[in-house]
């Protein structure tokens, strides 16, 4: 991973809690009494991590009934320990998926409750990465989009007040200057470094780096449907007053 920009959970600052990383790059931890999986996610694209730590297959036979509480706790403690191996190397937010029972038990024992950015119900141990991406990415987007319904009104007001940066190059300059408050970007918008006049790190998508910077500054990121920001060249940044 390139040198990403962390976004602090300011309420946790100084409390000893971890810094939560909201990003288009995150983990997905799928809990199951049969096979628990860990994915590295980039937007709605998931990569199934496969090595000695994951997938984590339990010894439960197909004919065996549900694990009792002690057995489930022991299993999920192992999952948590295995997840720690990855988080310590690359600390990212995580979406946790599982049945209500699995999630409740996991929440009671995990050492990483402060980096869980969302949850989804159900045993998805056999769900394809494509379908799983369609489930978890909207959850992450909704966490980012915490500015609510007033954003559209704010954008109109900012435009009238000439308090908005329009287009990716103007957005990058404003974000680098630390003056961005809310970024609105079309969901499918991507820009390669070669198509941007700004000098950025060697990354696949300039837009993702801009998103991370806005979040790191304590700003908001709102994803909108493709085409709705045509007159703003697919990306607009409401500047701080």
E strand or H helix at 56: strand 56-57
* 64 vs 48: CA distance, rounded Å: 27
Residue 94: CB partners within 8 Å, gap ≥ 6? 26, 27, 28, 29, 83, 87, 112, 115, 116, 117
Q: How far is CA 80 from the centre of its chain?
A: 19
Dump pLDDT digits (tens) for 180-198.
788 999 888 988 766 555 5
Q: Which two tokens stand for residue 223?
A: 């994803």
* 97 vs 114: CA distance, rounded Å: 16
Domain at 10-144: CATH architecture? 2-Layer Sandwich (3.30)
Mean pLDDT, residues 215-240: 88
- Residue 28 reports pLDDT greater than 90: yes
Average pLDDT, the chain: 84
Give the 3-state secondary structure of residue 121.
strand
**Other Cβ atoms within 10 Å of 130 Cβ, number:** 10
Percent of the chain with pLDDT over 90: 52
Place of tokens 């954003």: 151
Indicate the pLDDT class of residue 107, thresholds 50, 70 and 90.
Answer: very high
Q: DSSP string spanning 158-200?
A: HHHTT-EEESHHHHHHHHHTT-EEEEEEETT----GGG-SS--
Domains of the chain: which residue ranges? 10-144, 151-239
E strand or H helix at 104: helix 100-109
* 145 vs 67: CA distance, rounded Å: 38
Indicate the pLDDT class of residue 204, thresholds 50, 70 and 90.
Answer: low
**CATH 3.30.1600.10, domain 151-239, yes or no:** no
């Amino acid at each position: 991973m390139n040198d990403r920009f962390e976004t602090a959970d300011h309420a946790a600052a100084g409390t000893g809690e971890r810094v939560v990383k909201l990003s288009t790059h995150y983990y997905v931890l799928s809990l199951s009494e049969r096979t628990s999986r860990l994915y590295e996610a980039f937007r709605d694209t998931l990569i199934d991590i496969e090595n000695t730590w994951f997938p984590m297959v339990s010894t439960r036979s197909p004919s065996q009934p549900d694990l009792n509480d002690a057995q489930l706790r022991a299993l999920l403690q192992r999952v948590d320990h295995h997840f720690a191996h990855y988080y310590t190397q690359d600390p990212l937010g995580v979406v946790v998926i599982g049945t209500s029972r699995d999630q409740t038990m996991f929440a009671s024992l995990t050492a990483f409750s402060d980096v869980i950015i969302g949850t989804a119900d159900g045993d998805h141990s056999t769900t394809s990465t494509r379908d799983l991406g369609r489930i978890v990415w909207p959850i992450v987007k909704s966490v980012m989009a915490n500015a609510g319904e007033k954003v559209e009104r704010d954008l109109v007001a900012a435009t009238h007040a000439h308090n908005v940066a329009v287009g990716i190059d103007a957005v990058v300059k404003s974000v680098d200057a630390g003056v961005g408050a809310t970024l609105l970007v079309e969901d499918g918008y991507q820009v390669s470094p070669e198509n941007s006049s700004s000098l950025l790190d060697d990354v696949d998508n300039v837009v993702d780096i801009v998103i991370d910077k806005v979040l790191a500054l304590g700003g908001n990121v709102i994803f909108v449907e493709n085409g709705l920001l045509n007159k703003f060249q697919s990306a607009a940044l409401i500047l701080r007053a």
